[in-house]
């Protein structure tokens, strides 16, 4: 298995632009999570899905952030418009049920200038 | 709701032991432990479930005290490869996502 695949690995964009991060979970995993990591805040949960349904999006910072999971093999996290304070590493992770660990993707390093 | 990890940092020589603690103010269903090396993604080490037994993986083991809502990660006879940041992640019930602590940085030197 190729693991959790995220794209792009790096993204540099100007303030005000739209950014879309992509994630392909491990086949057969039914839960998908989006986390953001910064030095100040550590690993923050943004949103998670069970069986493609968003369960808790209370971690999404504001309306500029949105996430979708149209099918079991694909999810997107969109930021529109982007701001410098959104700069962070964004991780996608997937798991099977509540008894197994999470497998993280390699992350997307987002820099908003 | 975020679990509290201690200590924040540990410096060891090869072969020494370390204990990393994780505590929560809420009742816990599960505790996960992950290790992250610089510039890489967190990697799953082990999971401890409410009512479950202590788990072990080579020279790394962990315990979960449900009454105290605490977990400890034990690293024995540390190796250079153990260096990294260790995170505990906790969930209050099955089916909910993990909330991670701020991490404990472990540095092992020869």
pLDDT in tens, A35-79: 999 999 999 999 999 999 999 999 998 899 999 999 999 999 999
pLDDT level of residue A86 (50, 70, 90 thresholds): very high
Count of A-B CB contacts under 8 Å: 55
Q: Which long-range contacts (CB under 8 A, 24 or more apart) does A71-75 make?
A: A72/A25, A72/A30, A73/A24, A73/A25, A73/A27, A74/A22, A74/A23, A74/A24, A75/A22, A75/A23, A75/A25, A75/A32, A75/A34, A75/A49
Average pLDDT, chain A: 95
**Cβ separation A100–B47 shorter than 8 A:** yes
CA-wise closest residue to A109 among A84, A90, A95: A90
- In this prediction, residue A99 carries a pLDDT of 74
From CA A33, how far away is CA B96, in angstroms rounded? 10
The per-residue pLDDT for B52 is 65
Give the nearest partner residue to B32 out of A42, A101, A106, using CB atoms.
Answer: A101
Q: What is the pLDDT of residue A1?
A: 66
Cβ contact B41–A102 (<8 Å): no
Three-state DSSP state, B38: coil
Quick one: CA torsion of A91, A80, A111, A4, rounded to 10 degrees? 20
Say yes or no: A90 contacts chain B, CB-CB below 8 A. no
Residue B79, classed as helix, strand or coil, is coil
pLDDT, averaged across chain B: 92
Residues 6+ positions from A13 with CB-CB distance below 8 Å: A19, A82, A110, A111, A112, A113
**Rounded average pLDDT over B69-94:** 94
Percent share of chain A, pLDDT over 70: 98
- Report, as an integer, the average pLDDT of B78-100: 94
Per-residue pLDDT of B34-53, as tens digits, reads 999 999 999 999 999 877 66
CA pair distance B43, B64, nearest whole angstrom: 20
Proportion of chain B above pLDDT 90, given as a percent: 75
Minimum mean pLDDT among A10-19, A81-90, A98-107: which range?
A98-107
Q: In the prediction, which pLDDT does A2 show?
A: 81
Average pLDDT on B15-23 reads 97
pLDDT of B55: 62
B42 at the A interface (CB within 8 A)? yes
Residue B43 at interface with chain A, using a CB cutoff of 8 Å: yes
B54 pLDDT higher than 70: no
């Amino acid at each position: 298995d190729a693991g959790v695949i995220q794209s792009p690995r790096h993204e540099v964009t100007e303030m005000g632009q739209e950014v879309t991060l992509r994630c392909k979970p491990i086949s057969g995993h039914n839960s998908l999570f989006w986390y953001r990591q910064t030095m100040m805040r550590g690993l923050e949960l943004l949103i998670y899905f069970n069986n493609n349904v968003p369960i808790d999006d209370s971690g999404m910072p504001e309306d500029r952030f949105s996430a979708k999971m149209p099918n079991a093999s694909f999810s997107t996290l969109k930021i529109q418009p982007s701001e410098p304070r959104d700069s962070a590493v964004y991780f996608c992770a997937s798991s099977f049920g509540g008894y197994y660990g999470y497998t993280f993707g390699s992350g997307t390093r987002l820099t908003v200038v | 709701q975020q679990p509290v990890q201690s200590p924040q940092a540990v410096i060891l020589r090869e072969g020494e032991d370390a204990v990393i603690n994780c505590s929560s103010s809420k009742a816990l269903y599960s505790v996960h432990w992950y290790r992250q090396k610089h510039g890489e993604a967190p990697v799953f080490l082990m999971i401890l479930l409410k009512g479950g037994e202590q788990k072990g993986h080579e020279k790394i083991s962990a315990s979960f005290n449900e009454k105290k809502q605490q977990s400890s990660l034990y690293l024995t006879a540390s190796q250079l490869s153990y260096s990294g940041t260790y995170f505990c992640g906790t969930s209050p019930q099955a089916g909910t996502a993990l909330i991670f602590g701020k991490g404990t940085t472990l540095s092992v030197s020869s």
